[in-house]
Amino acid sequence: MRLSPDDLIFWRHGFVVLNSTILTTWLLMLGMTIGSWLITRKLVTESRIPRWQGFLEIVVTSIESQIQEVGLRDPEKYLGFLGGLFLFIAVSNLCAILPGYEPPTGSLSTTSALAISVFLATPFFGVLDQGWRGYLASYLKPTPFMLPFNVLSEISRTFALAIRLFGNVMSGTMIVGILLSITPLVFPIFMNLLGLLTGMVQAYIFSILATVYIAAATRGGEEPDPITTTKGHPWKA
C-alpha cells in the first residue's frame, strides 16, 4: 500500500519526476481554470443571474467575508492567495469521490508546499503592509526576549499546518482503503462521506489559519487566538 501518491511515478529524468501528485494537480488546475473561465466569460449584471454564477458568487463572497471576519481590512488583496488555497484544497479533497482518484493533498509534499507558501506569504504580506521595520519589530513583541520563541512559533506552526492536512487527508484515504479490504460493501460509502466532510473541514481550517497568520503579521500586533477569532468553530485548532 502506498502512503503517498508521490510514489506513483509516471516519468523520471534525473531528479525531475512526474508523479501522480503533480499530474493530478495539473488536471485540477486545468479543470478549475477552464470551469472558472467558462462561467465568468459571460457574467451578467442584471438582477436575474444564471445559477452557476450565483453559486460562484456565493463562494467568492463567503470567502471574502471570512477573510474580513478574521480581521483583514482589505480582503480583495488576499483573496487570490487565501481563496486559491481554500478552493484548491477543497476541490482536491472533494474529488476523492471519483474512483481511482488520489487527492494531491494526501501527499506530504503538497501539504508541505502549501505550508511553505503560507510561511513565505506571511512575511511577504506583513512587509507589504507595514514595511520591513514594522514587520521585523513584531518579532520583538511583547519583549525582545520573546524573539526566539516567536521565530520558533513561526516555524513550528508551518510544520503543524503541513502535517495536519496531510494526516487528515491521507488517513481518510487510508481508512477507505483498509475498510474496502475488510468490508467491501456499504460501509466504505459512509466512510467516504465522512472523508468528504473531513476534506471540507480541513480546507477551511488550513485557509482560516493562513488568514489568521497573515492577519497577525499585517496588523503588527499580537497574534490573535484563532479559536476566539473564528468563534463557533472550536474543532479547527
Is 116 or 140 the residue whose CB approaches another protein more closely?
116
CB of 64 to another protein, least distance (A): 8
CB of 30 to another protein, least distance (A): 9
CB of 136 to another protein, least distance (A): 24
- Which residues of the shown chain bind another protein in the complex (CB under 8 A)? 3-4, 6, 15-17, 19, 21-22, 25-26, 28-29, 32-33, 36-37, 40, 43-47, 49, 53, 56-57, 60-61, 64, 76, 79-81, 83-85, 87-88, 104, 107-110, 112-114, 116-117, 166
Is 206 or 223 the residue whose CB approaches another protein more closely?
206
Is 138 or 203 the residue whose CB approaches another protein more closely?
203
Is 69 or 150 the residue whose CB approaches another protein more closely?
69
CA 179 – CA 183 distance, rounded (Å)? 6
CA 207 – CA 82 distance, rounded (Å)? 6
Cell of 167: 494526516
Is 121 or 138 the residue whose CB approaches another protein more closely?
121
CB of 228 to another protein, least distance (A): 28
Put residue 14 in one of left, alpha, beta given phi > 0 → left and psi -120 to 50 → alpha.
left
CB of 201 to another protein, least distance (A): 20
Is 131 or 177 the residue whose CB approaches another protein more closely?
177
Helix (H) or strand (E) holding 16: strand 16-19
CB of 235 to another protein, least distance (A): 25
Put residue 71 in one of left, alpha, beta given phi > 0 → left and psi -120 to 50 → alpha.
left
Residue 36: C-alpha distances to residues 32, 51, 97, 128, 161 (Å): 6, 14, 21, 29, 28
* Contacts by residues 65-68 (CB-CB < 8 Å, ≥ 24 positions apart): 66/208, 66/211, 67/211
Amino acid identity of residue 91, one-letter, is V
